[in-house]
Amino acid sequence: MASFGIWVLTIFLVFQSGYGFYLPGSYPHKYKVGDPLSVKVNSLTSIDTEMPFSYYSLPFCKPAEGVKDSAENLGELLMGDRIENSPYRFKMYTNETLIFLCQSGKLSADEFKLLKERIDEMYQVNLILDNLPAIRYTVKEGFVSRWTGYPIGVKFQDMYYVFNHLKFKVLVHKYEETNVARVMGTGDGVDVFPSGGKGGSDVPGYMVVGFEVIPCSVMHNGNLVKDLKMYDKYPSEIKCDTTTVTVPIKEGEPIVFTYEVAFEESDIKWPSRWDAYLKMEGSKVHWFSILNSLMVITFLAGIVLVIFLRTVRRDLTRYEELDKEAQAQMNEELSGWKLVVGDVFRAPSHPALLCIMVGDGVQILGMGVVTILFAALGFMSPASRGTLITGMLFFYMILGIAAGYVAVRLWRTIGCGDHKGWASVAWKAACFFPGIAFLILTILNFLLWGSHSTGAIPFSLFVILLLLWFCISVPLTLVGGYFGAKAPHIEYPVRTNQIPREIPAQKYPSWLLVLGAGTLPFGTLFIELFFIMSSIWMGRVYYVFGFLLIVMVLLVVVCAEVSLVLTYMHLCVEDWKWWWKSFFASGSVAIYIFLYSVNYLIFDLKSLSGPVSATLYLGYSLFMVLAIMLATGTIGFLSSFWFVHYLFSSVKLD
């Protein structure tokens, strides 16, 4: 019964954000003139510290009805988003100016110090209207830059200035059609779509298609606002000049906050309203670099594959064309990979660990492919906050069945069909990667808790994650293990000798070649990796999931080929210990990704301040690298296992 309750809880957590599944042209909200529009606030963020903080941790105006959390899904909480209501209130297509918001209390020493720290650390205020983040445009040397949110303030000549007046511009698109198909620009389905609006009303309405903000530092007269209430008219003119700052913050003095809002009709249609956020600077370079990388890597992989197939096929054809007498003579003069026929399927060292890592790798790889596929189809776009993380968690738990099945079936194959210990292998597969991830996240969470960051996972969410792990993921992995124990094990095509063959001395350490093999898979993704890292750590929006899917498919192919080539090379020099080497031949790409992460920290995140921020960055990078190592290593191992099985079953050796 308890397990059923957890299933219900999971489905609720995953799909409570069902409204957030964003397909272009779905769920438009129509407003009439004068309808209220509510602005929400998200966590304060900074690329300087990478630690989000609550908006109301600073002395900003609070809504009259009190601070309330908006509906959040599991992914939003894990990402550190804390979306709350704000005091900003608009009326559709109603321009307003000189709106008094509030006057803060006199700044205490702690509040004054905290404001200065947040300004120094370049924290941004993130506002949301109708699910659109506030966007800010700046012009420098003729180039227009886009930013989401606006800075809390600025430091100028040893004085700190706060942006206390906000000038909002809301872009709206007018439509008079009552048919949803025409509203969303899909006129072909006019007769299929139901009519929009309440009761099919044909009253003209507006949709929010843009939300821009201009922050200003304006000097207010404290005496004029003593008797004003929230949303009253400010009694004197307010000039919003972005080139000057006039409100230095001082300890013991209050801050007056005001705003204005203007509505503007736009030709932008509702399905295209996210285009402004998805236009990355240097997008042409981005696309060209990815295409160039794909072409080069495809060419290299093709050459490797052709050479490799020709070498193996020539070896097999030569052997099979000989008559029996010549084959018998050739068996006496065997060389290369044929000499290790009696040892090639000898059980590796630490077989249980290998089975566990391969099982977890299948689970992670499956999660990655399915998630990216759904994202490429538009189900997990940036408009759906937290949906990507929530989807990854959901798919990871479901694929526990695959992890248990693969781990146990491989365990039985290595043990030549022995069922003994399968439950232990399935249990360890369910706990290995999640256990390490949980340990890393717990340590990082203590750092975030100590910094009072909203990025810290709440204790209640920790409990939920533990329940999801032990009540859903672990049972599913054990179920997969049960099926793996029932499935027939893979029969080896040759017998294994009792006495292991001595491996000849090698000219070079085989592990050196294994570690170097990761450079080719790294070449397939290092350009894409830059954009992914930028989206995670520089606050940019990542959206080219179609290209990411192509890169991932290419990565799988290259990992398989690299591992095959190295396994064949090891067998040719009579090194029959190929099991772990095939895993790390492609899994070693994780080492280069971690080195790239360190390089990114030093050269691209130069402003990252403090040991806590650097520790958080390296901790999350280590977590990511571990997952990549298991996924890519699994690709290499499974492809090598198939190849070795195929190679020795193709030639009859006595």
CA distances 203 to 38, 196, 537, 608, Å, are 22, 11, 45, 52
Supply the pLDDT for residue 127: 95
Return the amino acid letter for 468.
L
Separation between Cα atoms, residue 524 and residue 547, nearest integer Å = 12
Which two three-digit tokens encode residue 97?
Answer: 């100016």
Residue matched to tokens 């966007």? 135
Return the amino acid letter for 505.
A
Supply the pLDDT for residue 397: 95
| Contacts with 69 (C-beta within 8 Å, 6 or more apart), sequence order | 82, 83, 84
Strands 127-129 and 159-162, how do they pair? unpaired
Separation between Cα atoms, residue 71 and residue 523, nearest integer Å = 41
Give buried/exposed letters for 613-627 (b at 16+ CB in 10 A, else e): beebbebbbbbbbbb
The low-confidence residues of the chain, meaning pLDDT below 50, are 1-26, 180-200, 281-282, 330-333, 654
Supply the pLDDT for residue 590: 95
Strands 150-151 and 124-125, how do they pair? antiparallel
Supply the pLDDT for residue 624: 95
